[in-house]
Each structure stands twice: as C-alpha cells, then as structure tokens.
Amino acid sequence: MQYSKTEKYAFNVAEPIARASGCGVYDVEYVKEGPRWFLRIYIEKEGGVSLDDCEGVSRKVSDTLDRDNFIRDNYCLEVSSPGIERALRWDAHFDGALGQKIFVRQKNGETHEGVLLSHDSASITIDGGVSIPKQDIKRANIVFDFDTI
C-alpha cells in the first residue's frame, strides 16, 4: 500500500503543522464517497487530541492547501483523531498495535479477530496461528473492548 500523490502532498503539508501543534499525523486518506471527495487527516498525540487540536491543524492546513491549489477537485477537509478503533494500514500502525486485539477483513471476505502477535513487510500473525498476507488485507483495525470501561 502506498499514498496517492494527493495523499502524499497532504501528508507533507500536514506533518509540520501538526508537529508544531504538539501532534503527529497518523494517516491521510483522499477518497471519493458518492459524488464528493474527502481529504481526511488523522492526527494523534500522547493523551489524545482535543477539538482545539483538530481545529487548529485544520485551519492551518486549509490555508496552505488553498494557497498551493494542488488539489483540483472540490473536496471536504476533515481533521480528526484516528479513534480508538483506528485503521491499521502501514507498518508503523501494526507496530503500535502489537499485543492488541485487532479485526481483519480479507479481500476474499474472510474475517479474523485476535491479538496481533507479529508482523513483517509481507504478513501479520494473530493468535491462533493465523498468518495473513498484507496484500490480502482489505481492512484491519484495533478492536476496543467497551466492557473494560
């Protein structure tokens, strides 16, 4: 998996802005949903991000995106936390999820849930001895146990 040109551009714009605000960019996605395009920037920081963090990063990123006019489509910019059941797309995401319960949906429709034991550039392994090639993953995310609250 790799970023599109638009996602890479948005990441490069957002990362220094987020860093200056005490945050980091967790992920960026540029997707079309129905007739509309969405540029989603997910930020994180120790202790969690606040609405003020999202608003501040959004305002500064928006100003830069408007000035540069790199994205030709009309789009909606959204800046938020990746959430407690965050998507796992990159090696760094899987690194952060080691030892946590995850959900995986494969491209063939199979689903798996279990503790992420390990991963490398080619596959992930969850408890029960299940190894899944990363190229076969349609979606993976953290599973939060709401009963522990």
**Ranges of each domain in the chain:** 5-80, 91-148
For 146, the 3-state DSSP assignment is helix
Say whether domain 5-80 belongs to CATH 3.90.25.10: no
Phi and psi, residue 87, nearest 5°: -70, 150
Tokens of 98: 């080691």
Q: Is the pTM of this model over 0.85?
A: yes
**Burial of 120 per CB tally in 10 Å (0-12, 13-18, 19+):** exposed
As a whole number, mean pLDDT of residues 45-74 equals: 96
Over residues 29-50, the pLDDT tens digits come to 999 999 999 999 999 999 999 9
The interaxial angle of helices 51-68 and 5-20, nearest 10 deg, is: 130
In the block, tokens 């501040």 appear at 56
Among 20-24, 28-32, 82-86, 142-146, the minimum mean pLDDT is found in: 142-146
As a whole number, mean pLDDT of residues 77-98 equals: 95
Q: Which CATH architecture has domain 91-148?
A: Roll (2.30)
